[in-house]
A and B are shown apart, each in its own frame.
Chain A
Amino acid sequence: MTDAAIAPLLVTEQRGTTVTTEQWPVRILLIGVAVAFLVLFLFMPLAAVFVEAFRAGIGAYFAAITEPDALAAIRLTLLVAAIAVPANVVFGLAASWAIAKFEFTGKSVLNTLIDLPFSVSPVISGLIYVLLFGGQGYFGAFLHSENIQIIFALPGIVLATIFVTFPFVARELVPLMQEQGTQDEEAALSLGASGWKTFFKVTLPNIRWALLYGVVLCNARAMGEFGAVSVVSGHIRGKTNTMPLHVEILYNEYNFAAAFAVASLLALLALVTLVIKVALEWRYADQIAASRRH
C-alpha cells in the first residue's frame, strides 16, 4: 500500500492549478453536445421502447409478458444468465489471479485470448459451436450416436452465451489485481493464513467492487445477447427462444405492442442490475475509495 501514501500529495498538487482553462462558452458547448448526444442516442430510444410497450394499454402489456411463450423466454433467459454468469465469475477470478499474481510463460497469450470474444463477431461465436457440435460438425456423429443434443438446445445457448461474456469479469479484475500487487497476500501468508483464507479474507475484499462491476456487465450482456444465441437457438417457440429472440419474433408477427412489452422487460432487467450497482456504490462509497475503485 505504498501508493496510497503518495495519492493525497498528487491531489493537492492538482488543486493548485486550474486544469480547465477553457472559456465558459466552450464549456457550455461541450456539456451541451454531450448531453444532447446522450438524450438523442440513449435516452430517447429507451423511452420510445417504454412508450410503445404501453401503447396498447397496461392490460395488453401484462398479457404480453405473461403469455406462455413469453414466460418460457423469460425463464430461459434467466436460466442461461444464472449458469453463464457464475461460470464466468469462476473463470474470471482464476484467470486474473493467475495473470496478476504469478509469472509464467504464455501469460501474455492468456491475456490476449481473454479478449478474443470481444474481437470476434457474435455470429462467428455461434457458428463455431455449430461447426463443433452440429450434425455435420466434428463431434456431430458422436453426439448423435449418444443422443446428446447441444446445438438448438439449452447447452448450445449456454455455451454461446459464456463465450461472448467471457471477458467481462476478467477484464475488470486483471488491471486492478495487477495494480494491487501481491504484498497483502504475502503478508497474510507470512502471518500463517491458509491459501483459501488469504483469498477470502484478503484478496476478495480488495477486488469485490471490480468483481461486482464485472458481474453486472456480464449479466447484462448474457441476458441481452442476440447474434450468437440466434445462430445456435433453432428458434423453437416456447423452448429455445430467449427474450431477445422472442422480441424479434413478435415484431415479425406484427405484434408490435407485445414485442416492445418484452423488450421493455429486458431493458428493465438490465436497468435493475445497473441500479443495484449504483446503489451499492453510493452506500459503500468510502470503502470503494479505499480500494481505489470508482
Chain B
Amino acid sequence: MTRLRSTLAAGAALILTTLTASAVFADTTLLNVSYDPTRELYKAVNEAFIKEWKAKTGETVAIEQSHGGSGKQARAVIDGLQADVVTLGLGGDIDVIVKAGKIKPDWQKRLANNSSPYTSTIVFLVRKGNPKGIKDWDDLVKKDVAVITPNPKTSGGARWNYLAAWAYADSKYGHSEDKDKEFIKDLYANVPVLDSGARGSTTTFAERGLGDVLIAWENEAFLAINELGADKFEIVVPSLSVKAEPPVAVVDEVVDSKGTRKVAEAYLNFLYTPEAQKIIAHNYYRPSDPKDADPKDLARFPDLKLVSIDDPLFGGWSKAQPKHFDDGGIFDQLYQPKSTN
C-alpha cells in the first residue's frame, strides 16, 4: 500500500514537473522595460548579470525584457506595467514617469554619468556606394533626397535625430533660431513616413527599401549592417551630432512593493562594471568607461563633434521637451504630413 502511494506520489510529481518544466525557477524576477534597439545589448548583459549574481549571492535571478518605442514604454509603465527598472532612450521619458509618482525626482543623480552607463550618437545609414552622395546634414535637405526617421512624438531616437539636425543647423547658419527652424522644416519635408520606433524605421529603410538615407542610432546602424549585410549599406558620419545619453533608473514604487530593490540596484550598478562596459562596447554602444572595453570594439566608433542635451542650445530635457516636442511645440508647427509617397 505504501509502495502504491509512493508510486502515485512520484507520478504526480513527474507530471507536475513536466507541466512547469519550462517555467523559470528563480528567487527573484526583474522586469527591464527598455526602448527599441537595446534588445541584443540586454540579452548579453542579462546573461552576464545572472551569472555574476548567482556567484555572488547564490540566488537565481531571472530578467524579463520588454521593448518598444521609448515614449510608448514610459506610457506603459505609468499605466501599470510592473517594471523594476527602466532603461529608456532619453531622460525626458523617465521624467514623465517621475511626474506620475513612480520614480523619485532625484533619479538622475543616483548613478554616475547622469545615470547613463552608455552613450551613443546619431549617424546616417545610406545604400551601398552612397548613390546620392550624402556626406553631411545639409545633403539631407536637398530636393531629391528621401529621408527615413521615426516620429519624435513616440520615439526617443527620433528626438535625438531632430536635435542633432538642429545643432548642426545652429552651428552652420550662425545661431539663428529662424534658420534652424527652416532647416528642420526642409528636412522633415523630405520624410515620406514617420514610424513609431527606431526599429520600425530601420525596417522601413532596410527591408521595404524606402528612402535614400536613414537617420539612426549609431548602434542601430552598425547592427543593420551586421545583420543585413555590409554589401547593402554603409555608414556616413556627419561633421556634428548629438551625444545621446540613454539613462537607466530603478522604478521606486515597483521595487518597494515587490521587495526587489536590492537586486534591481545591483543590476543597474552592474552596467558600470568593466565586464558590462565591455559587453556594451561590443554591442556598438559607447561605454561610459572605455578603459575596460576591447580596443577593437572602440576603434569602430568614429570621432566627431558631439553636442550634449545640457548644452545651452537645448538647456536639458526639461526645456527641450516642451519647446520642441510637446503638443503645439516647434515640431508640430514645422511638420506637415506628406499626402503622397
The residues of A with any CB-CB pair to B shorter than 8 Å are 68, 71-72, 75, 130, 133-137, 140, 143-144, 147, 149, 151-152, 234-239, 249, 251-254
- Could you tell me the distance in whole angstroms from the C-beta of B52 to the nearest C-beta in chain A? 21
Asked if A251 contacts B80 (CB within 8 A), the reply is: no
Asked if B79 contacts A237 (CB within 8 A), the reply is: no
Chain A: CB-nearest residue to B199: A252
Chain A: CB-nearest residue to B228: A254
Asked if B76 contacts A234 (CB within 8 A), the reply is: yes
Asked if A130 contacts B79 (CB within 8 A), the reply is: yes
In the complex, 26 of the A-B residue pairs with CB atoms within 8 angstroms, ordered by the A residue number, are A68-B22, A130-B79, A133-B80, A134-B80, A135-B80, A136-B78, A136-B79, A137-B79, A144-B80, A151-B80, A151-B81, A152-B82, A234-B66, A234-B81, A235-B66, A235-B67, A235-B68, A236-B65, A236-B66, A237-B65, A237-B66, A238-B64, A239-B64, A249-B67, A253-B39, A254-B228
Asked if A140 contacts B80 (CB within 8 A), the reply is: yes
Between A140, A151, A252, A253, the greatest number of chain B beta carbons within 10 A of the residue's beta carbon is seen for A252
- Given the known inter-chain contacts A235-B68, A254-B228, please indicate yes or no for A152 contacting B203, CB distance below 8 A: no
Question: Residues of B contacting A71 with CB < 8 Å?
Answer: 22
Residue from B66, B81, B100, B200 within 8 A of A136 (CB atoms) = B100
- Could you tell me the distance in whole angstroms from the C-beta of A159 to the nearest C-beta in chain B? 14
Question: Residues of B contacting A75 with CB < 8 Å?
Answer: 22
Question: Residues of A contacting B78 with CB < 8 Å?
Answer: 135-136
For the complex, count residues of B whose C-beta is within 8 A of A.
25
Residues of B46-66 at the interface with A, using a CB-CB cut-off of 8 Å, are 64-66
Question: Residues of A contacting B106 with CB < 8 Å?
Answer: none
Between B68, B79, B200, B257, the greatest number of chain A beta carbons within 10 A of the residue's beta carbon is seen for B79
Asked if B80 contacts A152 (CB within 8 A), the reply is: yes
Chain B: CB-nearest residue to A234: B81
Residue from A133, A137, A152, A249 within 8 A of B81 (CB atoms) = A152
What 8 A-B pairs are tightest by C-beta distance, nearest first? A135-B80, A134-B79, A254-B227, A152-B81, A234-B81, A235-B66, A252-B199, A236-B66
Given A135-B79, A151-B80, A253-B40, 11 additional A-B pairs, CB 8 A: A130-B79, A144-B80, A152-B76, A152-B79, A152-B80, A152-B82, A234-B76, A237-B65, A237-B66, A252-B200, A254-B228
A147 to B80, CA, bound (A): 11
Determine whether B263 belongs to the interface, using a CB cutoff of 8 Å to chain A: no
Asked if B227 contacts A237 (CB within 8 A), the reply is: no
A251 to B65, CA, bound (A): 17
